[in-house]
Amino acid sequence: MKYMWEGRFKEKAEKDIIDFTKSIDIDKKLAIYDIEGSIAHVKMLFKVGLITKKEKEEILDGLKKIKKEINENKLKFLPTDEDIHTVVERRLIELIGKTGEKLHTARSRNDQIVLDEKLFLRDEIIYLIKQIISLQNCFLKKSEECFDIIISSYTHLKQSQPVLLSHYFLAYIEKLERDKERFLESYKRVNIFPLGVGACAGTSLPIDREYTAKLLNFPAISKNSLDTVSDRDFLIEVVFCCVLTLIHLSSFSQDLIIWNMDEIDFVKLPDRYCTGSSLMPHKKNPDVFELIRGKTSSCIGLFTGLLTLVKGLPLSYNRDLQEDKKPLFEIIEITKSILKIISKVVPKIEFNKEIIKNKISSFTLSTDIAEYLVKKGKPFREAYIIVGNIVNYCIENNKTFFSLTLDEFKKFSQVFENDIFKILNFESSVNVKISDGGTSSINVKREIGRWKKKLEKSLDLIISLEKGVSILRK
């Protein structure tokens, strides 16, 4: 192909400038989507009479050949190729000649890149949602498996109140559910068709955007050309969804790193998911979880970069936007790999039940004692102080709640009776937490059942989403 802007320019760009401005090394990832978008565009050009049937067929034939080359990794890039759009156009003209020059009718790379990104993101969102559902299923299985384990919950990393370990895993299912909902919400905005707004103002040619949108299964088209070529909200939203999912998984990793400390030793991680030290022969480190934390930090950085990229850009398209793809691809790849890794590791985590049991302090029952006093008519604030005094007494006399006699309890309040001993155990503490959302076994069992049904239904959701994606990487 000739130099693209030959007409206007008297001299060719310098090699350094070409190298500096090109993005092919990154946006080649969108090749397959670029072709699919072009196929639909060409069909529309024929429908409205901008190209003949013969021209349409020649172009479609050429595009199919390029698609095959892409799939077989045979599409060659030249040093002068700027981006994926110009590569496809150049190759098309090489393959079919002059007719190929009609492909770009009523289209600009400014709207084309938005379409490519949206086609890519529709696929990726579906894949990410699938991964989230399978991770939720992993957590659910673990939750069932751990139903008999009571662990202290923590606030401020200090022992708080006993909970079922199942309840802990259900908490992560909830977080992931919100992540899933957020991705679905972002999908709506990704699913608005951008092509046909041209460089920024629309076109005088008689195109039919609704038709192209329909071919590519977009339920709606964008309404303002200036907005369409400058909008990257859709992309930033998806990236935000990734980052928040990662933040959740990073917190989960942090718990595991702590639980895996020698001093705590609540979990046993399988050798095959750990790594050793190059120097200290005894070490078995939870590097995978540390890297999840670390990679989450990198993604937050990339996300901040994206926000900074669009901040203060004047309307409409600006070349700065070309820089959106590198962080986008990286964040999506990292998110997918972390979801995959965690799904592999979670089923293999073993809990050291005895250690967990021995490490819970009797003081985690302090709120139960205060609530006992409330039930006997004490105002909560007074009950709180009474129990605080008992805790102090225990600490000073090297006792636990379990070693106190009724007489000792009575020293702090006459309200104490023998029934205090019934509530002084972790099982009963857990099982009285029957308020909605509480950790009682009845609640937790009900929640496990609810999630089982809900996650089965999630599969229907995926099937319906996949139907919405016309052609692509199914």
Amino acid making up residue 390:
I
Of 112 and 137, the one with the shorter C-beta distance to ligand ARG is 112
* Shortest CB 164 distance to ligand ARG, Å: 50
Among 36, 58, 81, 83, binds ligand ARG (CB under 6 A): 83
What x-and-dash track marks residues 98-137 binding ligand ARG by CB under 6 A? -----------xx--x------------------------
Residues ≥6 apart with Cβ < 8 Å to 108: 197, 198, 199, 200, 229
* 321 scored as a contact of ligand ARG (CB under 6 A): yes
Take residue 191 and report the two structure tokens written for it. 């699913």
Q: 275 - beta bridge partners?
A: 285
Of 86 and 441, the one with the shorter C-beta distance to ligand ARG is 86
Burial of 327 (0-12, 13-18, 19+ CB in 10 A): buried
* 34 scored as a contact of ligand ARG (CB under 6 A): no
* Shortest CB 10 distance to ligand ARG, Å: 19
Contact 328, 117 (CB under 8 A): yes
**Residue written as token pair 């990832």:** 29
* Shortest CB 36 distance to ligand ARG, Å: 17
* Shortest CB 232 distance to ligand ARG, Å: 10
What 3 state SS string does 325-379 have? HHHHHHHHHHHHHHHHHHHHHHHHCEECHHHHHHHCCHHHHHHHHHHHHHHCCCC
Of 180 and 232, the one with the shorter C-beta distance to ligand ARG is 232
Phi/psi at 297 (5° precision): -60, -45
208, 211, 213, 214 alpha-carbon torsion, rounded to 10°: 170
Among 161, 322, 431, 443, binds ligand ARG (CB under 6 A): 322
Instruction: Classify strands 192-193 and 220-221 as parallel, antiparallel or unpaired.
Output: parallel
Stretch of 59-67, 319-327, 394-402, 427-435 lying at the interface with ligand ARG (CB under 6 A): 319-327
Size of the site for ligand ARG (CB under 6 A): 9
What x-and-dash track marks residues 3-32 binding ligand ARG by CB under 6 A? --------------------x---------
What x-and-dash track marks residues 153-192 binding ligand ARG by CB under 6 A? ----------------------------------------
Of 120 and 363, the one with the shorter C-beta distance to ligand ARG is 120
Q: Please list the active-site residues.
A: 156, 277
Whether omega before 277 lies within 30 degrees of 0, making that bond cis, reads no
* 81 scored as a contact of ligand ARG (CB under 6 A): no
Stretch of 99-107, 301-309, 313-321, 368-376 lying at the interface with ligand ARG (CB under 6 A): 313-321
Give the C-alpha separation, 121 to 127, whole Å.
10
* Shortest CB 302 distance to ligand ARG, Å: 17
* Shortest CB 86 distance to ligand ARG, Å: 8
**Residue written as token pair 């890149």:** 113
List the one residue out of 353, 362, 387 whose CA is nearest residue 372: 387
Stretch of 130-138, 267-275, 316-324, 452-460 lying at the interface with ligand ARG (CB under 6 A): 316-324
Chain residues 389-428 in contact with ligand ARG, contact rule CB under 6 A: none
Per-position DSSP letters for 90-147, written without gaps between them: HHHHHHHGGGGGGTTTT--HHHHHHHHHHHHHHHHHHHHHHHHHHHHHHHHHHHHHTT
Contact 466, 26 (CB under 8 A): no
Stretch of 284-292, 296-304, 308-316, 318-326 lying at the interface with ligand ARG (CB under 6 A): 318-326
Contact 187, 109 (CB under 8 A): no
* Shortest CB 207 distance to ligand ARG, Å: 19
List the one residue out of 41, 27, 321, 37 whose CA is nearest residue 203: 41
SS3 363: helix
Of 319 and 453, the one with the shorter C-beta distance to ligand ARG is 319
The helix, strand and coil proportions of the chain, stated in percent and rounded to the nearest 5, come to 65, 5, 30
* Shortest CB 104 distance to ligand ARG, Å: 12
**Where does this chain bind ligand ARG (CB under 6 A)?**
23, 83, 109-110, 113, 317, 319, 321-322
